Amino acid sequence: MSKLKKIALLIVSIITGCLFLYSAYTKVIPIQLFEYTIVDYLPVSWVTAAFATRIFIGLETALGLLIILKFYGKNKWILKTAFLLITLFSIYLFYLLATVGNNVNCGCFGDSVRMTPIEALIKNGFLLISLFLLIKYSNLWLQKWAKLIVPDVFFIILLLPFILFGFPDNQPDWLRNKKYQMNLSEISYIETQQPNQVLKQTEDKYIVAFLSPTCPHCKMAAYKMHLMHKKNPKLPFYFIIGGTKSDLSDFWNKSKASDIPYSRMERDPFLFYTHGSFPLIVFINKGWVVATAEYANLDQQIIEEWLMKDTN
């Protein structure tokens, strides 16, 4: 093989590996966004989405690093696995096109680089061509080393996301003897629906999220609650959005949560109720806050069980 050809294949290998690593990196900032994207577009459970997220991130990280180092393994199984993974992602993109169209962010690069399914398919096409060229023409580098270390390195990196991003505790913080009253019907709101409308529908239990429209974590919380509400429209969610001057267009665009009723609250009372820490998510029963939860811990099954439980 000519020196120029070797250099060209090395460059292709480095660029291909970097794309895999960048794809994995963007899926962890934050990792929940990729989980929610999977739940949004595929008919899978929350647990399945969380597991798949970590597997895909581990795969992309392991494949990207080993491809950059040209540690392709015996019979170039690393390149073949990467080819199979991109093929699988492409099938998912065709599914998105068929079910929701092209005007969505496919999640291939998280929220860092928003890509439509067609744009992602074009990117995948270049990756598949690059991988095919590497499989067909590249030589193994340090083949004896690769046979020994590639499988171990691959599986260690594959497991790293499960260690670094453990599954969150799905239990809210039940306040028990520390519960406190929050009579939202007495709060002075600025616009839109009142919580009393939600109370009539859900009798005495509902879940309120205090959200700031400019807070990234608040958008994530709203997005997750939207997905749960989408799966079960009877869930009694309600948003209280702080501030009255900010435009909510970006908030609704990122969270997709315009299906959930809300009210807007002036800045000072909003900060009074949240103590300046948001998103604040509270479980309310007959005007008493009985639990608080982080948005990452919200579990649809636990919420449904709480709503069905006879509590006084």
Kindly report the CATH number assigned to the domain that includes residue 200.
Answer: 3.40.30.10
173 near 293, Cβ under 8 Å? yes
237 near 263, Cβ under 8 Å? no
Same domain (yes/no): 178, 249: yes
Same domain (yes/no): 192, 250: yes
Same domain (yes/no): 146, 181: no
Same domain (yes/no): 158, 255: no
Same domain (yes/no): 132, 239: no
Q: How far is CA 136 from CA 75, 79, 100, 140, 143, in A?
A: 11, 10, 36, 11, 16
Same domain (yes/no): 25, 157: yes
Asked if the model's pLDDT at residue 202 lies above 50, the reply is no
Over residues 225-266, the pLDDT tens digits come to 999 999 999 999 999 998 877 788 899 999 999 999 888 888
Over residues 272-288, the pLDDT tens digits come to 888 888 999 999 988 88
Same domain (yes/no): 128, 186: no
Same domain (yes/no): 154, 16: yes
Rounded to an integer, the average pLDDT of 35-42 is 93
Cα separation of 241 and 264, whole Å? Answer: 5
Same domain (yes/no): 96, 24: yes
Over residues 132-144, the pLDDT tens digits come to 999 999 876 666 6
As for how many domains the chain has, the answer is 2
How confident is the prediction for the chain on average, in pLDDT? 88
CA atoms within 13 A on the CB side of 128: 13
Same domain (yes/no): 50, 89: yes
End position of a domain, from candidates 164, 189, 223:
164
Considering the chain, what percentage of its residues have pLDDT values greater than 70? 89
Same domain (yes/no): 211, 160: no
Sign of CA dihedral 74, 75, 80, 82: positive
Instruction: Give the range of the structural domain holding residue 277, as residue numbers without chain letter.
Output: 173-308
End position of a domain, from candidates 164, 198, 219:
164
